[in-house]
Chains A and B, each alone.
Chain A
Amino acid sequence: MNPLQWATDPWGKIVPIHIAWFLIWVAAIAGLLFVIVHAIYVRYFAKRRQFEPDHAPVDPAKIPAHVPRHSPVARAFHWIMAASMFTLLFTAFLPKVGVQFDWVTYHWIAGAVLTVSVLFHIFHASFFLDFWSIWPDKIDIRDARRRLQRSMGKTAPPPERFAKYPLENKLYHAAIMAAGLSAMVTGVFMMSRVRTVFFPRNPYLFSDMTWGMMYVLHGLAGVGLIALITVHVYFGIRPEKRPITKSMIFGWMSRDFYLEEHDPARWPVEARALPSRSQGTQPRS
């Protein structure tokens, strides 16, 4: 069972042409398996979470009842990206599983929307948001080790509360960024093979081998996104994660949830009232 489809080009070279479509089912099943295994683990095996006590507890009264988490611009980006991503996945893969419709135009339009919104997001996150808040830091790595040890019954101190984003969020962001950027960059080049308003058609932009690799990468990123989006939607509707999902709709999370899950020192919402820390981490806004 070859995960890639190969062909002989007119010059006699064996080149990849795209992924084998059974990978669609592999990705979908992998995503669903993760969901099932995780749900069973949380329901029957997971231990109650414990966090290290705050080094310098804050006065809850100084925390607003609605802790701002996502700006309107950030939320708009997220939902535009979500809409375009779903459009891309449905238009890409439904025809491959037997639902036939005129998909190409919708696909490249959604791809163009996604590309523009991601470029905007990169700019916005770089200059108007705390760029580093979505990347794992030393505390995340240390706490991940502690959590793993504790889950295996070993003795380890409890982890600290999270910064703005839990490590899982950060890792997910990295994974979706890798898959998304791969699909986008290859997709932009692939637009030169269809008639769009952006480029004149030029199917000879690259060699057959390079084109083949590009289609393969696009396909792998695409099926990877099936699994990633499945997992993302699953976490979005899990009861304990709903405050985070709601914050992506309304822009805020409750003070109680904030104090329960997040470390005000790592994610201060009222900088003047909170103590600073000296553990080598960067101050965050």
Chain B
Amino acid sequence: MAVIRDVMPAFELVQPTSIADAQRALERQGENGWVLAGGMDSFDWLKDRIKRPAVVVDLSGVAELKGVRTTADGIEIGAMTTLTEIVQHPVIREKYKLLADAAELVASPQIRNQGTLGGNLSQDARCWYYRAGWPCYRAGGNICYADTPEGRNREHAILYADRCVAVNPSDTAPALIALDAKFVMRTPKGERVVDAEDYFIGPQIDITRLHILQPGDLLTAIRIPSTWAGTQFYFEKVRDRNVWDFPLLNVASAMAVSSDSIDRIRIAVNGAAARPLRLKGVEDAVRGKPANAATGEMAGKLAVQGAVPLQFNAYKIPLMRNLVKRAIGSVGEAT
């Protein structure tokens, strides 16, 4: 665990009041700029003096980035909306409960009061070698300390590892992938909208980031279409301390079932790789099949194909298999 030094290094604080101003400030600063949302990830980095941005752009004064709005085809959630607001929002609870369930399992009530949806989606990896400031691949170095014979890698990746074996720690990311959400970004070239799963990237694409945001880009909103509103949802998170922890693994699924068979399904897991994984192979395999334990069993086995455990995280393979199995089997049995 890194030593908290309490006193952050000096930086220039910019407090814009509009998205345009915030994006311009970030664009101006480039690599030297740092986005401060709820601060739940940022203050660790800054107090540990591991990240030393010259300029911090505090988004807390940008009203446009906050709140949940109903649109013609679903809802739009501002990136600065707190997790507590999401958990308590009546429309989300009624139609997109998957997201409320995921948000409710993030950390502790205090953190959910302060932490934002955008921050939860864009937070950095929790690998302790990386967080401690060691010069690993993710920090721009040439080694992964976790992927060594003695490395403490119980929490790390079992799928799609490429030099770095850190995982994405977000709980809301798989829920939004399952809900087919779109992420809205403001970039120097204008607005850009991407599918939720395309917002995240693995180390094979960029080993120093978990998402596609480049310096000067800003995540502004998350749009959830009504396509999956009111379908059958399943979210489960497994963590070491049930009151307050990052996921060892989590699973989120949205499923439309009719006549005992699965008509439509989207399912995603997180904590298995450096990006949340949409299990497209599983979706294709279970579509048209009954949502029961046998289908869940088959889906679970399919989900972990290609998994490569590290020294201390082989348990994640049966864990992921069972989570996927339950995500499909439990929904059907509860129907």
Q: Chain A: residues with CB nearer than 8 A to chain B?
A: 5, 7-10, 15, 17-18, 95, 100-105, 193-195, 201, 203-204, 208, 211-212, 215
Contact = CB atoms under 8 A, between A and B. Distances in A.
A109 to B, nearest CB: 14
B135 interface: yes
Contact of B141 (A17, A100, A194): A17
B153 to A, nearest CB: 13
B107 interface: no
Interface in B148-162: 148-149, 161-162
The 4 A-B pairs at the shortest CB distance, nearest first, are namely A7-B135, A102-B204, A17-B141, A215-B142
B251 to A, nearest CB: 25
B267 to A, nearest CB: 24
Contact of B142 (A95, A193, A195): A193
Interface string B307-324: 010000000000000000
B206 A204 contact: no
Contacts, number: 49
Nearest to A105: B204
A203 B205 contact: no
A95 B162 CA distance: 15
A101 B147 CA distance: 22
B143 A203 contact: yes
Given A101-B205, A203-B148, A8 B142 contact: no
Nearest to B151: A203
A8 B204 contact: no
A81 B196 CA distance: 41
Contacts of A211: 142-143
Nearest to B129: A10
A212 B142 CA distance: 8
B205 A193 contact: no
B135 A9 contact: yes
Contacts of A8: 135
A193 B143 contact: yes
A105 B201 CA distance: 16
Contact of A100 (B134, B149, B206): B206
Interface of B: 134-135, 139-145, 147-149, 161-163, 201, 204-206, 308
Contacts of A103: 204
A212 B161 CA distance: 22
Contacts of A201: 147
A193 B161 CA distance: 13
A7 B140 CA distance: 9
Contact of A102 (B141, B142, B205): B205
A17 B142 contact: yes
29 contacts: A5-B140, A7-B135, A7-B140, A7-B141, A9-B134, A9-B135, A10-B134, A17-B135, A18-B142, A100-B205, A100-B206, A102-B162, A102-B204, A103-B204, A104-B162, A104-B163, A105-B204, A193-B143, A193-B163, A203-B143, A203-B144, A203-B147, A203-B148, A204-B149, A208-B143, A211-B142, A211-B143, A212-B142, A215-B142
A154 B134 CA distance: 60
A87 B145 CA distance: 29
A44 B145 CA distance: 57
Contacts of B162: 102, 104, 194-195
Contacts of A9: 134-135
A17 B139 CA distance: 11
B140 A17 contact: yes
A133 B147 CA distance: 48
Nearest to A98: B214
Contacts of B206: 95, 100
Contacts of B147: 201, 203
